[in-house]
Amino acid sequence: MKQNLKKKMLKESLLVIVLLIMSAILLMFFPDKIKPVVSTAQNYFLEMALVLPAVMILMGLFAVFVPDKTVTYYLGKASGIKGMLIAVFLGTLPTGPLYIAFPMVSMWLKKGASISNMIVFLSAWACIKIPQEIVELQFLGFKFMLLRLSLTIVFVMIMGVVIERIIKLSEAKVKL
């Protein structure tokens, strides 16, 4: 177990190092981009430093106070369409960057949520927001908003099921 964790950490560290080297090489060829790149990196780091601690605290509280059975019941493999609709609803509520959702999804998966429901949650977070729907309604009309929203929900659910099946197939092949 520790050996696998060490290998995973080494691979992830290697990826970060390779990306940093590639970025440095690209910036050597485009020195005029150094200032915007550094500025953007600083802004993202500051945003994450301010937001992630609060998210981690909330996740810790959730992990302690919400039983695994509750997550499994509402978002687990047996939750079906009901679980997907709950995942869509939960994904439309928060505002903020998508990277906040990844630690939440990781925790929910550990508590028994299905992969398909977590894909639905992430996709809803990325492309369905209540303020966005209001703007769509104002500028593009009710028909457009309703059609886009309906199609998004349907295809997000299909995508969740397909991705879960692909992951299960690939895990089965690895075990063989």
Per-residue pLDDT, 176: 65
Residue 112 is given by DSSP the state: T
- Dihedral sign, CA of 60, 66, 67, 73? negative
Domain ranges, ordered by start, for the chain = 1-54, 66-176
Q: Which has the minimum average pLDDT: 17-26, 33-42, 89-98?
A: 89-98
Q: Which CA distances in Å does 59 have to 66, 105, 107, 171?
A: 10, 10, 8, 28
Please give the span between the terminal C-alpha atoms of the chain, in angstroms, as a whole number: 19
Q: Distance between CA atoms of 134 and 12, rounded to whole angstroms? A: 40
Residue type present at position 174: V
H/E stretch holding 61 reads helix 34-65
- The contacts of residue 104 (CB under 8 Å, 6+ apart) are 55, 59
- The SS3 assignment for 152 reads helix
Q: Per the confidence metrics, is the pTM higher than 0.85?
A: no
Q: Distance between CA atoms of 176 and 167, rounded to whole angstroms? A: 14
User: pLDDT tens across 107-152, in order?
Assistant: 999 999 999 999 999 999 999 988 888 999 999 999 999 999 999 9
User: pLDDT tens across 52-67, in order?
Assistant: 888 888 888 888 888 9
Q: Distance between CA atoms of 155 and 140, rounded to whole angstroms? A: 21
- The SS3 assignment for 109 reads helix
pLDDT above 70 covers a percentage of the chain that reads: 99
User: pLDDT tens across 65-109, in order?
Assistant: 889 999 999 999 999 999 999 999 999 987 778 888 898 899 999
